[in-house]
Structure 1
Amino acid sequence: MFSPPSPEEPVRPADTQGDVYVLSFPKCGRTWLRLLMAKAISTARGIPMEVCRDLALTGFSAVDSTVPRIVFWHDDRVPWRTPAGLSRNKGFYRDRKVVLLVRDIRDTAVSRYFQVLHRDFRPYAGEIGDFLTEDEGSVRTCLTFWDIWHARQDVPASFLLTSYERLAADTAGELARVLDFCGLAPAGRDALRTVVDFAEFKAMRAMELSNALNTDKLRPAVPGNPDSYKTRRGVIGGYRDYLTPEQIDYVNDATRRILAPPWQPAAFAADAAPASPHRLDRTP
């Protein structure tokens, strides 16, 4: 069983040789961004997607050493942490680049609930209101994690904040910004359009249903149950379909109390997003 170290001794990723680390709390759109970046590198370098086994982008670096080693992971085993157990020591990233992917905290919380309900090895037994107030791996852990990175963003060699909502609003433009930050040559407009179409929600859902990528990172936990899919449902602001006004107030109040003010707009990003009642979620 995993035994978290003290906050002074952070958990390091299994791959410590990365040039760029893409970090996130679970359910912020990490698989979508990973698939976009994998397809972009494959298209630009002419390297088959098959070398990117289990969506590990370092497979491209093994074939072409000029491709930076890009490692995705949930920094410091954050899903299994309490707020007090999170490490504030980010010295590991001092000579590396860091991309932090965030998402509206309320949409994140709802999507995370369905993950622990259907995709955890020990399924969560409570209701969504119970989950919101859990001490481990829920709302306050996520907000504290973001707040730590707000305070420590000057530790890495370079730091980039992006979000699911920015990717949804301008997928090609935001992807180009992330790729450029990682040190990858900018792709042309047509190439980016191909990449965006490849990772569009319906295409990702089809990949998941057919197990096209042969990875648990894009495979239903319970075939036939859409709530168990990586490509689940959520629209931007979809939390309103699941949370009561009192539950929303709880998350909003926690955000204002825990997260540094400059990053609070990102945590409330769904409030600024245009209404999109028919937009399907891209947040695996």
Structure 2
Amino acid sequence: MRAIIEAPVPIMLVDRLIRHATVGAAFLVPGLDRRAVERRARGREEARKLARADFAVVSYGKSGRTWLNVMLSRFFQVRFGLPEHSLLFFDNLHRKNPAIPTVLLTHDNYLRDFLGTGASKAAFYDKPTLLLVRHPADVAVSQYFQWRYRMRPHKKNLNDYPPHGAAVSVGDFVLRERAGLAKVVAFMNEWAAELPRLRRLLVLRYEDLRSQPERRLAEVLGWMGMSPTPEEVRQAVAFASFENMKRLEQRGVFRWSGVSMRPGDRANPDSYKTRRAKVGGYRDYFDDQEVRSIDDYVRANLDPVFGYGAPPGLAVAPERGRPVAVG
């Protein structure tokens, strides 16, 4: 298949050029914290995109965002007759058809460096925001494989991961490194504290999307005002199945989409963006005592609003993110 490179709109290109110029200039100033300069430049770029977006999709890395994005993209492909390589990336699909919304997909990683707002989510209060969450232990394990097999050395330094090539086991990464379980829980707690202040919010759990993909995708699209048909939803879910996403990654279908969706090493299944997609898979990497330690940590430290480690029979309300009883 011949891929088509989609040119960015001028404002996005200008933002990117400004970021690269700012970071490049920092190398000329002795003693300047170049890491801080780049994080602030990335935050500026993201703040400008957030202001222009119709919707924001927020998640910690490795919470299932690419899977959700492929489903959303396939829905837009089917409805508006777009080619299968057209993966949603901010406003690229909106420029093809104005009926498609502009969506900022963010890990909420750099905004605070530019806005100086710390843990506050004030930038999202008036923005329709979907918060995608996943069990923090599954996220931390997936982060380990991302760090070990996919992440560029520069990104490891920029985001305070263990150094490139460091001899860190999955257990040490999850349980003892700053980039592991504790960091994921802290991110989720920041958002839990701010949920009541977001005026239009949808909380989506990866586990619910995995168990009921058609129902949950229809809810997301309805929340976005798209009124999907059952057939459109069915096609989107089928296209984003684990097996098909693996094939798409192997074929490099999305290589011009702005999303890094290609394996680090085709012979190593742990280097794929689409790796396992298993709910509760973190238990496969730890002994019984370590699993108990992880579960105890989550119960003791994670806000129960998301339903992880909460008493049986609790789930997350679809609009406000409050725990509700389920039968």
Using the size of structure 1 for normalisation, the TM-score is: 0.81
Compute the displacement of 1:64 (Å).
Answer: 2.4
- Residues 181, 266 of structure 1: CA spacing in aligned structure 2 closer, same or farther, 3 A cutoff? farther
Is residue 196 of structure 2 the alignment partner of residue 154 of structure 1?
Answer: yes
Gaps of 5+ in 1: 273-284
Alpha-carbon contact 2:86-2:254 (below 8 Å) kept: no
Compute the displacement of 1:94 (Å).
Answer: 2.2
Provide the aligned length of Structure 1 versus Structure 2.
259
Is residue 242 of structure 2 the alignment partner of residue 201 of structure 1?
Answer: yes
Compute the displacement of 1:234 (Å).
Answer: 4.5
Query: After superposition, what is the alpha-carbon deviation per residue over 1:140-168, rounded to whole angstroms, capped at 9, x for unaligned?
Result: 11111111111101333311110111111
Task: Please state whether the residue corresponding to 2:82 is helix, strand or coil.
Answer: coil
Using the size of structure 2 for normalisation, the TM-score is: 0.71
Alpha-carbon contact 2:53-2:90 (below 8 Å) kept: no
Indicate which of 84, 88, 102 corresponds to 2:119.
Answer: 88
Give 1 or 2 for the bigger CA radius of gyration.
Answer: 2
Compute the displacement of 1:5 (Å).
Answer: 10
Alpha-carbon contact 1:76-1:86 (below 8 Å) kept: no
Indicate which of 133, 142, 149 corresponds to 1:102.
Answer: 133
Is residue 33 of structure 2 the alignment partner of residue 33 of structure 1?
Answer: no
Compute the displacement of 1:172 (Å).
Answer: 0.9
- Write the distance in 2 (CA, Å) between the matches of 1:121 and 1:246: 33
- Residues 193, 180 of structure 1: CA spacing in aligned structure 2 closer, same or farther, 3 A cutoff? same
The within-5 A match list for 1:244-255 is 244-255=287-298
Is residue 180 of structure 2 the alignment partner of residue 138 of structure 1?
Answer: yes
Is residue 104 of structure 2 the alignment partner of residue 112 of structure 1?
Answer: no
Alpha-carbon contact 1:102-1:266 (below 8 Å) kept: no
The AA in structure 1 aligned to 2:264 is A
- Residues 181, 35 of structure 1: CA spacing in aligned structure 2 closer, same or farther, 3 A cutoff? same
Aligned to 2:207: 165
Aligned to 1:219: 262
- Write the distance in 2 (CA, Å) between the matches of 1:234 and 1:86: 34
Q: Which runs of 4+ in 1 moved over 4 A?
A: none
Alpha-carbon contact 1:20-1:96 (below 8 Å) kept: yes
RCO (CA 8 Å, sep 6+): is it higher in 1 or 2? 1
Indicate which of 99, 106, 110 corresponds to 1:66.
Answer: 99
Is residue 75 of structure 2 the alignment partner of residue 44 of structure 1?
Answer: no
Alpha-carbon contact 1:167-1:174 (below 8 Å) kept: yes
Task: Please state whether the residue corresponding to 2:36 is helix, strand or coil.
Answer: coil
- Write the distance in 1 (CA, Å) between the matches of 2:38 and 2:181: 21
Q: Percent of counterpart pairs with the same letter? A: 29
Give the root-mean-square deviation of aligned CA atoms. Answer: 2.9
Query: After superposition, what is the alpha-carbon deviation per residue over 1:147-197, rounded to whole angstroms, capped at 9, x for unaligned?
Result: 1111101333311110111111111110111111122x2211112111111
Alpha-carbon contact 2:57-2:103 (below 8 Å) kept: yes
